Chains A and B, each alone.
Chain A
Amino acid sequence: MERGDILLRIRDLKIEGRVEDSWLPILKGINLELRRGEVLGLIGESGAGKSTLGLAAMGFVRDGCRFSGGTVEFEGQELTTAHRSVRRSLRSSDIAYVAQSAAASFNPAHKLVDQYAEFPVLRGRMTQAEARADAAKMYARLQLPDPNGIGFRYPHQVSGGQLQRAMTAMAMSCRPKLIIFDEPTTALDVTTQIEVLAAIREVVAEFGTAAIYVTHDLAIVSQMADRVMVLRYGEMVELAETRQMLTTPTEDYTRSLWAVRSFRAPVKAEAAKGAPLISLRDVTASYGKVDVLSDISIDFHAGRTVAVVGESGSGKSTVARVLTGLLPPRRGEVSFDGAALPKVVDQRSKDQLRHVQMIYQMADTALNPKQRLRKIIGRPLAFYLGLSGRALEDRIRDLLAEIELDPDTFIDRFPSELSGGQKQRVGIARALAADPRFIICDEVTSALDQLVAEGILRLLVNLQNERGLGYMFITHDIATVEAIADDVVVMQHGRVVEAGRKEDVLSPPHEPYTELLLSSVPEMDPDWLTRVLDQRQGARASPILPGST
């Protein structure tokens, strides 16, 4: 029973999912061995089957899926054919699960500590009082603030990053031998993510727990995993030690994943010149009595991309709401082409509305599911430009061609018949249809896989070059900023912390907050997390500012 034995052995595992009346393969014969105390990273794009594989390691398939072949052996116990009660009894005790969104996966009706204590008590390992004491210790290990008190809060009273650590603590409650981490930091800001990653890595190492770490982020997997398995379309592409995988991937697909982050828009050497296309002057805006923007001034120029970065709650999206007139500012001016823009959207003329368009984060919810693409794209053409009949049809087809979707194939499709990337392209076409001069892109790539996201970024850059569009690019992803931005605005707590050309903002010396933000972005170097944590430890100990290291 020592470190190094095989804990989990998966052989030729096949899982199918029901689509209407037929069963389609999700996993097509996966082989996998996991030793005690080992951390295996599962990486792939959405639909690759990595979450399904992670859950299958617990003998679990989601509703509408089924095991259709192969075996999952945990400590010699076959799980796929085992009785439900056998599988249940292993969960929590021997295998635990940490979900992607802790906010959604904690039961809103119970306190954190009660959810922690549920299974240690049910399985007779601890009394309620012992479990509560143990929870406080585990919360302390995961560096949660106020470890004795935080458990008595309800999930909604705790921040996202803390909840994710509390969920890791809960997974540890029975000291399992294996934990499945299913994208545990995907929903977090980079600055929070780094803390959660550090906490998870430490506690897993301390208890010698084996882990399967599911993620789509290469940089993260390289911090967390001893070995990495690349999945695609339900099949294994490659499996290797992490360092080896990073330096010498053998498969083309793996190399293409690794290369994604290399996309760069052509650099515009000179700084922005001339009058801005659209600008904010000393804008203060609030929801109710709380100021969410304080004295913001930002200029956006035609043909340039301004990336607005910051954590959630920093006011990025509020800037977009002020620009579009959805949230009238309490003080300050919004001007377009040198003329003041009415503050409220209802008071803007059709032309003023037409020139400022938006592309949204969730193309899924931003497109009307009951309308065909013809209508989705045709509506702004009819509304703003008064097109109809032949002219309208031709324009819709031109736009589809412009976003690289074949008009004949796609014009009569519903959004549900498109992939995530295609939906986002339709979102772009809808914005372009109004023939705008300025487009607000609100986290447009954050819900997409990296390869797909790169395609979207390329498309946006091409469109900008052809049409001289001004972009405001809201994002929390620094890699995206590096790829596409000309200018960068860093926001925190509703204020502009730093602004300027990308080269100036992203290269030292930095404002302390910018430094924190930049240094929190995971890098594809297995030693990155250790290095950053050491640096921060050092910076805290010595009076030297982080910017000077």
Chain B
Amino acid sequence: MTAIVRMITIRLALGLVTLWIVSVVIFISVEFLPGDLAEAVLGQSATEATLQAYRDRLGLERPPLERYLVWLSGAWRGDFGVSLVNGQPISDLIAVRLGNTLFLAAMAAMIAIPLALGLGILAALYRNSWFDKTISVSTLSAISFPEFFVAYILVLLFAINVNLFPALANIGIGTPFGERVYNSVLPALTLTLVITAHMMRMTRAAIINLLARPYIEMARLKGASPSRVILHHALPNAVAPIVNVIALNLGYLITGVVIVEVVFVYPGLGQLLVDSVTRRDVPVVQAACLIFAATFILLNLIADVVAVLSDPRLLHPK
């Protein structure tokens, strides 16, 4: 167990280093963005004097290193500063949006992960049968279509043809839980269709990959039924690759869902990021990117820990 704790500690420390590198990269890339916030906010008709006053007020003319250090020390304390556009504290702005994004991600994950695992296991059990082929073809078709196309098809089917769910995910701070779920069904379904194939294929492949192992033949020679061979003898040894793919897809659910958010006008983090880039709201962009990076680092850490916990050879060294 101490080995696990040590591993987590080291990985967290490395994660922090990665985050720091990411913060530098983000800061530098934003510096290179063409245009100027003052011009973007005040418009072309602004006089040189007003532009200058605006820049002075926000400290845009100070040396980059100084601005970076100020920003970094703030971010370390959880204070990302204020939005340059509307003057709100970024932490508040992001907290609401991040909450919405996590809610949608959780909802999609709760449908997609059990579905993908179940289908993957069944596909491995009935490999090369019509069932296996049908599952493969349908899930692969689902990811072959662009996300917005899947989204609009779902809207057409479930919001227009049959008026089951709302086409717009209208969610605010005070929306009660049940309504939130109801309003988010279509975006969650879209995301499910997008990520299921990947996880399901990996589950199937990871299990089938093990079926040629001598211990699987041994299980069959001990008289284990096909389902017991898959669930009890193969699956516990296939956890690591499956968990890694799940982590990757969860990361996508949090960081890569801009298009789906736009289609359903879902007030998530992705939309905030896109809006902030167009408005040159640099501090918000930086904060959002940092959160995305942290999400990936954390999810991968969790995946690695689960992989270690699932493998007695790593958990109990000789």
Contact = CB atoms under 8 A, between A and B. Distances in A.
A157 B316 CA distance: 8
Interface string A87-127: 01111110011010100111111100000001100000000
Contact of A104 (B215, B223, B225): B215
30 contacts: A60-B220, A62-B217, A88-B224, A88-B225, A89-B223, A91-B222, A97-B218, A99-B214, A99-B218, A99-B221, A104-B214, A105-B214, A105-B215, A105-B218, A106-B215, A107-B218, A107-B233, A107-B236, A108-B237, A108-B312, A108-B313, A109-B312, A110-B236, A118-B224, A119-B223, A153-B316, A154-B312, A154-B313, A156-B312, A156-B318
B242 to A, nearest CB: 14
Contacts of A99: 214, 217-218, 221
Contacts of A106: 215, 218
Nearest to A156: B313
Given A106-B215, A157-B316, A93 B236 contact: no
A92 B312 CA distance: 26
A109 B237 contact: yes
Nearest to B226: A84
A381 interface: no
A97 B215 CA distance: 12
B219 interface: yes
A109 B236 contact: yes
Given A88-B223, A108-B313, 17 more contacts: A60-B221, A91-B221, A91-B222, A96-B222, A97-B221, A104-B214, A106-B215, A107-B237, A108-B215, A108-B237, A109-B310, A109-B312, A118-B224, A119-B222, A154-B313, A154-B316, A156-B313
A90 B221 CA distance: 10
Contacts of A118: 222, 224
Contacts of A92: 222-223
Interface in B172-189: none
A247 to B, nearest CB: 35
Contacts of B237: 107-109
Interface in B38-66: none
Contacts of B214: 99, 101, 104-105
Nearest to B219: A107
A401 to B, nearest CB: 39
A43 interface: no
B213 interface: yes
Contacts of A93: 223
Interface string A491-531: 00000000000000000000000000000000000000000
Contacts of A88: 223-225
Interface in B205-235: 213-215, 217-225, 233
A58 interface: yes
A199 B215 CA distance: 23
Nearest to B215: A107
A93 B318 CA distance: 33
A106 B222 CA distance: 11
A88 B310 CA distance: 29
Contacts of A62: 217
Contacts of B217: 62, 99, 105
Interface in A121-160: 153-154, 156-157
A60 B222 CA distance: 11
A181 B222 CA distance: 13
Listed from nearest, the 4 A-B pairs whose CB atoms lie closest are: A91-B223, A109-B236, A104-B214, A154-B312
Contacts of B313: 108, 154, 156
B213 A104 contact: yes
Contacts of B310: 109
A541 B36 CA distance: 94
Contacts of B236: 107, 109-110
